[in-house]
Chain A
Amino acid sequence: MAFIASAFLPKDSGRLGGRRSERAPLSKIRVLDVTHVFAAPYADGLLGDLGAEVIRIVAPDRVDMMAPLGPFPDGEPGERFWDRVGSLNTVNRGKYGLGLNLKDPRGADIFRELVKISDVVVEGFTREVMASFGLDYPALRRIKPDIIMLSNSAYGHSGPWSDWGGVATGLEATTGMTHLSGYEDGPPTKVGASYTDFITTWSIVIAVLSALHYRRRTGKGQWIDVSMYQVGASTIGEALLDYIVNGRVQTRHGNRLPGMAPCGVYRCKGVDEWIALSVETDQEWKLLCAVMGKPAMGEDSRYRRTADRLLNQPELDAAISEWTEGLEHYQVMQLLQEAGVAAGAVLNNKELHLDPHLRSRGFYQKAEHSPATGIGTRFYIGEPWRFSKGDVRIRKAAPAVGEDNVLILTQLLGCSEDEVHALTNEGVIGTGPRAVAAPPAISPQELVARKAAVSFDSNYQDILGTGDPHPARKHLGQPSTTR
């Protein structure tokens, strides 16, 4: 059945989910999100927090590479596990979900119709893929001359490595970050979680906002080619210059900061509890010694100046550990901050959710998922910026695959429900793969036993305040019904 393009719908009347708050900065912007994993999807999720209408387009028969890793609600993947992944649901918040097969010419046509009424396309395929669909920048520009298209890839769309993919830890190493991270006496070490993804996320948001500003001024769109590799290199610029100008290859310094002593992370009383502190001035050193009840040390001429302290760090570290090991980490943090010393407890994921400062700022925000997913209401990472006037927040939960197929095709493209059914039957649109086995469920208890987790709270929903008011109706997720 041929896809029949609809009559042109003026943009304002085509807003999904009704009229947008005008106080949301990007309320008049529509983004097509054709991306995978974390970096680019998160950028589009943040554009959604800023008010854009974001349509997430995925191939209905493919499962995201990150999906099998979870985390899943209570460790249970469920049948449609790809809709129940905490990390993916964080980055895809706020979006509308379209399961669309771009390899099918009718799918590509639907995409073209959406481009006509969109402002930005963000894609993260390897180099030739959008061209193979007939949807590269030159093609999209013919459809909508002022379209802004951003392509995100590991190494960029040109150069000897441009056909190669890249992922998280591997990219972090290639960008030079890993060589510079780790214990002073240890090997290069990955830190945190897929760092290169996030600096790329933010770079994509900056690039899209900049292109929007330029288009507003000139009426011109453009193509943006983002290289995750180059983004990563940009945050170690001073080390690159140290080699270029001084010929020096910097290396790892653990937790030391230049020009500060003492500076490190010290064990506290509880299991795996730590406090980080750093002293920049001689006055701060005296304050630290006073708090520790070691005023003599504060007067000791061996440690009076930074230059001296830098040479005596093992003795200083031993003295500090002796003190911190008798105290809980929050306690040490309070004592030191009250005394004017820069100190911070090493906080874990539970502590962050419950921390009074982050709670008062509302950093974690709730979103309620559609009942079919069985996820319920969960807290998600919000945004690290607060706008005194703009309406910026998570507006809805991440969509299940194809959750909004009917809504998008009927409301934005003027398809009839019959047309939508036909397209579904013919595999042009869909709501998920049919025969993909769920990964095995791993209970929280087992994670702790394997030392892949520290502990778990079975009553975490009460602790967080996201409990199901009707616990007897707990779902594991239902198989999709025809929509």
Chain B
Amino acid sequence: MEKALSHLRVLDLSEQIAGPFCTKLLGDLGADVVKIEAPPEGDRGRRLQPFAHDTPDPHGSLVFLYLNTNKRSVTLNLRTPEGIKVLTELLATADALVESFAPGTLAALGLDDEALEQINPGLVLTSITPFGQTGPYSHWKATELVEYAMSGVMAISGTQGREPLKHGLSQAQYCGGFGGAIATLAALWFREETGEGQHVDVSIQECLASTLLGNSTQYSYAGVVGGQSPSEGSSIGQVAPCKDGYIVGHMLQQRRREFIELFGVPELASPEFVNRRGRGGSQGKEMDALLLPRYAQWNKFDLFNAANQRGLIFGVVQTPKDLAECPQLQSRGFFVPVEHPTLGTVRHPGSTFEMSETPWSLDRPAPLLGQHNDEIFCEELGYSKREVARLRKQGVL
């Protein structure tokens, strides 16, 4: 079935999380994504825990499984001239190349911007790195934690007086992946208009820094340096405990009556609570004293349902188990079964948006390493089986 991006071929040299998430976004929308992995072990993402059944197996990384749906895999050793030659043949057939090497790596392989333009003038090269291709930090080392620290997001997170915090799992990498997908699709649109390819440079630090709308303008509008929040005032707009878990309360002005009725807190009708701005200070403490004991009487899903049915837009702290069993996600068909060659049927998280003409679908599970060597090298590029065997013996693939 034709999907939104079925006309695109994307070659993927990236590894681990940011680049693979970018190409997953494109592949899930129909692009023909070909992972090009270095033999013998391929994408380092194949070694990321957690593993299926906690067995460290190259086919069992659940991170890899999740991020590499709708992709094919070939192996190529780019440290050999033959490997570069085969890559060049693939590049001539591609619309985009996504990579996340340290800046300068492609150039060192003889594949700088000028060389790529010679091979395929319409090619879009998308590079996703911690700090981008240029600037004094562009050659610095970074991990998820370092990116969070330097993005500004950490400075406003965590409790005052304690070390600041990052989000759980690998959000900086996912943010970089989103950035890469946007930049690739916009550059391909530019190519449709002009015939020209180009190089797009995505910085993970800047992706995260892009999320600081209020914090950034606190300084540019008023010279205010923002930091971590005080811990009082958790009953509204923050995580608050209830009987069997946690919820997030919200009280909009236009729903104050419903809020007051639901929790039996007529005190909140008084003017001092009306124009509450910011958190902390005596108002936060007073609200907490009123509301936290009342929240504590409710189970989290009862409270979440009761509040939302009255137009109070509460949130509920859900665990992965809660999401796996969620009636809303069930109704939206969010989890889809996928047949995997070694793991059997696995329910995968699915689409984040629905398109009426080009529905999302999971057509392939994450590929085994080099699973499509024959399909691509022989059937598409025209190498004979004997040539492929020779290249394999020489360590080219």
Contact = CB atoms under 8 A, between A and B. Distances in A.
A364 B220 contact: yes
B214 A86 contact: yes
B315 A172 contact: yes
A339 B351 CA distance: 43
Contacts of B222: 71-75, 444, 456, 460
B19 interface: no
Interface string B143-163: 111111111111111111011
B239 A242 contact: no
A263 to B, nearest CB: 6
B133 to A, nearest CB: 8
Interface stretch (B63-71, B99-107, B369-377): B63-71
B182 A453 contact: no
B321 interface: yes
A71 to B, nearest CB: 5
B206 A195 contact: no
Nearest to A279: B143
B246 interface: yes
B7 interface: yes
Contacts of A237: 66-67, 348-349
A189 B219 contact: no
Interface string A447-476: 110111111111111011010000000000
B188 interface: yes
Interface stretch (A110-118, A209-217, A407-415): A209-217
Contacts of B311: 165
B12 interface: no
Interface stretch (B35-43, B166-174, B260-268): B166-174
Contact of B278 (A27, A227, A257, A450): A450
Contact residues of A: prevailing secondary structure:
mixed
A366 to B, nearest CB: 9
A179 B193 contact: no
Given A378-B221, A385-B183, A26 B189 contact: yes
Interface in A382-432: 382-390, 392
A249 B152 CA distance: 29
A180 to B, nearest CB: 3
A178 to B, nearest CB: 5
Contacts of B225: 348-350, 453-457
A140 to B, nearest CB: 12
A106 to B, nearest CB: 26
16 contacts: A22-B193, A87-B217, A167-B313, A173-B318, A199-B174, A206-B178, A224-B353, A240-B349, A254-B165, A260-B143, A337-B137, A349-B155, A358-B205, A388-B198, A453-B218, A454-B227
Given A71-B224, A214-B5, A235-B174, 19 more contacts: A87-B213, A87-B217, A159-B331, A172-B248, A191-B153, A192-B167, A213-B192, A226-B353, A230-B332, A238-B63, A350-B219, A356-B136, A360-B136, A385-B203, A388-B113, A444-B224, A450-B281, A453-B224, A466-B220
